[in-house]
Amino acid sequence: MQSISRRGFVVSAAAAGAAFGLDGALDFGGQAFAQAPAGPEVVKFKLGDLEVIQMSDGIWEKAHDEKFIRNASLDETKAALKAAGLTDAYVPIPFTVTAVRTQGGLVLFDSGTGAQLAPTAGNITKNNLWKAAGIDPASVTNIVITHFHGDHISGLMAKDTNEPIFPNAQIHVPAAEYKFWTNPTVTAGAAKRIQAVFPNWKNIRQFEGEIEVLPGVRAISTPGHTPGHTSYHMGSGNQQLVVLGDLTNIRALNLTNPGWHLVFDADPNLAEAGRRKMFDRAVAEGITLTGYHWGMPGAGKLTKQGNGYGFEPVKA
């Protein structure tokens, strides 16, 4: 396993915390979230015996920043957005939460923003997409976390009290991720709130390595974005699904240009290596991938196209 610089992660945590922190009000630089996401708010599709449910939690209209992509210019960023048919007035970053219903029950991957990131974020909570998706939060018994950035975990806890939103769920987290963010010397981004909340919860289960976290759900170690970032593999017959988390950002940037290094990746070289490895595996094996920042539908298959990858969305 490659060695990861702790200092690099602290620096990245500060950068990510500016947007996705959990300790107090957030500053989005005057940028708004779109009132409604592009496309449907809930998408369901089948992969063998698996029912995949995706819910849109809003779109961040991120202001352009010359430093957003470490190895690409602002003009190149805008050109990539325009080529994908997106606006180039800002970077549209959607949030997409995935749940999978198996014969053994429902598994929720990450929890969304919990309507805590900005006044217009949190469509899942505000629009009660749980009901539209056929999910009762009180009946959720297993939540699997990719990493601890605020847009992925703030939906676990109430905004003002930090009370658990899913009191009956066991929350499965990568041990490396938990260890990093609960270290009291880490103070950036989500760390303070995590340190105040998670050690007091009795329903958090840490796991090590690429194990079967739940029956049919196997962890894939994909560090780089954060120290313990983890993706997850599921299968049914000859159908395969991998929940990527933030192994990529939006498709227009990290699929067309898998070598682009976004500021949110703590170790960009490690993140890129994991991204390329996963993309090549997905092409070779015909795996359906989901990306947290891929919009709706946030799942599909990849094709190799030049130095990058094309995307064929699922048919819901």
- Reading phi first (left if > 0) and then psi (alpha if -120 to 50, else beta), residue 286 is in left
What confidence tens digit (pLDDT) does each residue in 258-289 have?
Answer: 999 999 999 999 999 999 999 999 999 999 99
pLDDT confidence of 93, banded at 50, 70, 90? very high
CA 307 to CA 122: how far, in whole Å? 35
pLDDT tens, position by position, 180-227:
999 999 988 789 999 999 999 999 999 999 999 999 999 999 999 999
- Over residues 19-71, the pLDDT tens digits come to 554 444 333 333 333 333 457 899 999 999 999 999 999 999 999 999 999 99
For the stretch 228-265, pLDDT in tens is 999 999 999 999 999 999 999 999 999 999 999 999 99
- Residue 6 or residue 96, greater confidence: 96
Answer whether 43's CB lies under 8 Å from 99's CB.
no
- For 197, phi then psi, to 5°, come to -110, -55
Find where tokens 């009660």 sit: 128
Task: Map tokens 């819910």 to a residue.
Answer: 55
Residue 314 — pLDDT band, cuts 50, 70, 90? very high
Place of tokens 């939060």: 137
Ordered by start, the domain boundaries in the chain are 6-313
Q: What percent of the chain has pLDDT over 90?
A: 80
Q: Would you state the pLDDT for residue 71?
A: 97
Peptide bond into 167 cis (omega under 30): no
| CATH number, domain 6-313 | 3.60.15.10
| 54 against 17, higher pLDDT | 54
What is the average per-residue pLDDT within 299-305?
Answer: 97
Whole-number pLDDT of residue 188: 83
Whole-number pLDDT of residue 24? 40
Distances (CA, A) of 307 to 286, 294, 313: 19, 20, 20
Report residue 260 as tokens: 């682009």
Look at the alpha carbons of 67, 71, 76, 78 in this order and tell me if their dihedral is positive or negative. negative
Phi-psi domain of 53 (left: phi exceeds 0; alpha: psi -120 through 50; beta: other): beta
pLDDT surpasses 80 at 98 = yes
Give just the sign of the alpha carbon dihedral 83, 86, 92, 96: negative
Q: Name residue, tokens 């990529």.
A: 248
With a cut of 90, say whether residue 16 has pLDDT above it.
no
pLDDT score at 136: 93
